[in-house]
Structure formats: structure tokens, C-alpha cells
Amino acid sequence: MATKVTESSKTQLSDEQKRKMVAARKIGGVYRTLAKQVSDEWAEGTDEKMALLKTVHTNILGKDKSGNLRPINDLQYFLFQAAQRKLNPFKGQIHAVYIWDGALGAEKLIPITGIDGFIAIAQRTGRYAGMSECVWEINQSTKLPIKATVDVFAYNPVSGKREVVNTATAWYDEYVKLVNEKVNGKSTGNKVPNSVWANRPNGQLEKCAQALAIRRTFPEEVGGLYVWQEMDHLIGKDHQLDEPEETVEDTIQNAVAEHQKANATEGEVVEAKK
């Protein structure tokens, strides 16, 4: 049965279109203002920068569960974080992740980067002098790590010598990403590590320890930034995170790990990026 279109519905539709046009003009005005903050390395000219801002707002921050664009303040905050850390979102150096903050009763934007981004930021300070190899404590029964400890080195401003300035320990039970166990497509009610943590528990925990150590050493430079592996530890019971069990990076790393395993007997060595 066809829906009858009345004159009042036409007027209502017209009013809705007008509201959308007004909203679009307002957002366009904000984009024009924010374009002044966009680095020339990202785009040249106001029009290009406005187009870039629209892309970041629409595709990187995305929409909430109601289908609305995220607040313009989030866009401004994300751009500020990216610019301050000199990380390019279009190169995958920084990501926008939203968690549900139960205490606030609203979404909260958390900037996420990889451990390579942490190291790049630390190196720009001129003080960073590398990290130690991870020191592990292993559960002999499960062969899973109990904890991972990393030292951060820096150059002494007086003597110029390389010395330990911070130590950080990440505990497996606090950081491991747990998901619902499924057998034949049905949930068993048990919580188990997701495929990434199951395949490379040491590598995942090492990233957590490294990120924690760098953040403690350079709080002004990387404070407020986190790696994916820290998210569950960060969120806590009052928050929820809508994320796939594996990121694109995780999927690639799993594929490399499988390739390495398959070719191990033939003497081929493939090093998966941690």
C-alpha cells in the first residue's frame, strides 16, 4: 500500500532539510576555523584542509550508535593530539577509539597508537636511549607469562652517560584480552584469550610493558596515548569498548606468524613485527 504524501508532510520534510542545511553550514564554518590548525604537511590550502577535516570527522572518528557525527570538540581534540605528537592519522600512526564511560554516562575518545609511534615520539626528545630486553616471569604449568619487565634508558644531561631512568612491569592477568569461548559456534560461558593473545602472549605483553615504561619516562610527550594491547586494562569495569577481536594489524601479524610456522622446517626465517 502506497504511503499518502500530504501537504503537511511536505512542509515537515522541507523543515528537516532546512535544519540539515543549517547544521551543515555550521560544521563547514567550524571546519574552516579548524583548518588553520592543520599542518601544511597534511594538506595545502584551506579547501584541501577542510576536505581533510571532513574525512577525519566522518571516517576516522566515525558516527555514534545513533548515526550522528561525533562532537566537533572530539575532532579538535584528536587533531590537537595528532599535531602535538606529530603523528599522521592517514598513515595509521594514531587512531580514534571510543569507549563507553559508565561514570560519565557518555562516550569518551581515547587516542591509540602503536609501540613504534611511542618510540618515534620518545626519540624526538633527544633523551631516549633505548630499552632493555624484556625480563619474563613464566608460569611453568601453563607456559604463559606472569609478568614482563622493561627498563628505559636515557642520556644523563650532565655526564652524557646512558643509564636506566625507569622500569615498568606489565602483568599478564591484568592486560590479556579475554573473549567468550565458542565451540561449534556456541558460547560455552568461559572466557579465553582472543586469538592474538593466544598466539603471541609474550609479544602482546611486551608491548604493554614498553608503552608503560615510555609513558612513565616521557609523560609530557606521550601522556594520554595508549597502545591497543592496553585497552582492556585501561577501561575497567565502568567502561565498554566496541572493538573487533582482532585489529587489521593483528590479522597481518597472525598471518606472518602462521607463515613462519609453516616454513620453519624448510629453514626459512620470517620475523613477525612485535
231 and 175 in a single domain? The answer is: yes
Output b/e per residue, 209-236; b: 16+ Cβ within 10 A: bbbbbbbebbeebbeebbbbbbbbbebe
* Any domain includes 268: no
* Any domain includes 260: no
* Any domain includes 126: yes
123 and 19 in a single domain? The answer is: no
- Helices 7-34 and 46-55: crossing angle in degrees, nearest 10, is 120
pLDDT bin (cut points 50, 70, 90) of residue 20 is low
Residue 86 belongs to domain spanning: 7-97
Residue range 46-73, pLDDT digits in tens: 888 888 888 888 888 888 888 888 988 8
Cβ pair 170, 147 in contact under 8 A: yes
Q: Which three cell numbers stand for residue 240?
A: 565498554
Which range is least confidently modeled, 23-27, 138-142, 213-217? 23-27
Alpha carbon distance, N-terminus to C-terminus of the chain? 59
Q: How far apart are CA 28 and CA 53, in angstroms?
A: 10
Q: Does the pLDDT at position 239 exceed 60? A: no
* Any domain includes 262: no
pLDDT at position 271 = 35
Output b/e per residue, 135-168; b: 16+ Cβ within 10 A: eeeeeeeeebbebbbbbbbbeeeeeeeeeebbbb
Residue range 165-194, pLDDT digits in tens: 999 999 999 999 888 888 888 888 888 888
Q: Does the pLDDT at position 163 exceed 60? A: yes
The domain tally of the chain equals: 2
> Residues 8-16: what's their mean pLDDT?
58
Cβ pair 179, 191 in contact under 8 A: yes
197 and 161 in a single domain? The answer is: yes
* Any domain includes 102: no
pLDDT bin (cut points 50, 70, 90) of residue 31 is confident
* Any domain includes 178: yes
Q: DSSP letters of 150-206?
A: EEEEEE-TTT--EEEEEEEEEEHHHH--EEEEEETTEEEEEEEE-HHHHH-HHHHHH
DSSP state of 193: E
79 and 183 in a single domain? The answer is: no
167 and 222 in a single domain? The answer is: yes
122 and 87 in a single domain? The answer is: no
119 and 223 in a single domain? The answer is: yes
Which range is least confidently modeled, 25-29, 81-85, 164-168? 25-29
- Residues sharing a CB contact under 8 Å with residue 234, sequence separation 6 or more, in sequence order: 110, 226
pLDDT bin (cut points 50, 70, 90) of residue 264 is very low
> Residues 187-210: what's their mean pLDDT?
90
Task: Mark which of 97, 126, 160 sits at the end of a domain.
Answer: 97
Q: Does the pLDDT at position 247 exceed 50? A: no
123 and 60 in a single domain? The answer is: no
Q: Does the pLDDT at position 86 exceed 90? A: no
Q: How far apart are CA 175 and CA 156, in angstroms?
A: 32
Q: How far apart are CA 193 and CA 179, in angstroms?
A: 6
Q: How far apart are CA 221 and CA 169, in angstroms?
A: 20
Name the more confident of 57 and 248.
Answer: 57
* Any domain includes 166: yes
What SS3 class is residue 128?
strand
136 and 77 in a single domain? The answer is: no
pLDDT at position 210 = 96
* Any domain includes 266: no
Number of helices and strands in the chain (H, E): 10, 9
Q: How far apart are CA 239 and CA 154, in angstroms?
A: 35
129 and 233 in a single domain? The answer is: yes
Mean pLDDT of the chain: 78
pLDDT at position 265 = 37
pLDDT bin (cut points 50, 70, 90) of residue 211 is very high
Task: Mark which of 97, 123, 154 sits at the end of a domain.
Answer: 97
> Residues 225-242: what's their mean pLDDT?
66
86 and 164 in a single domain? The answer is: no
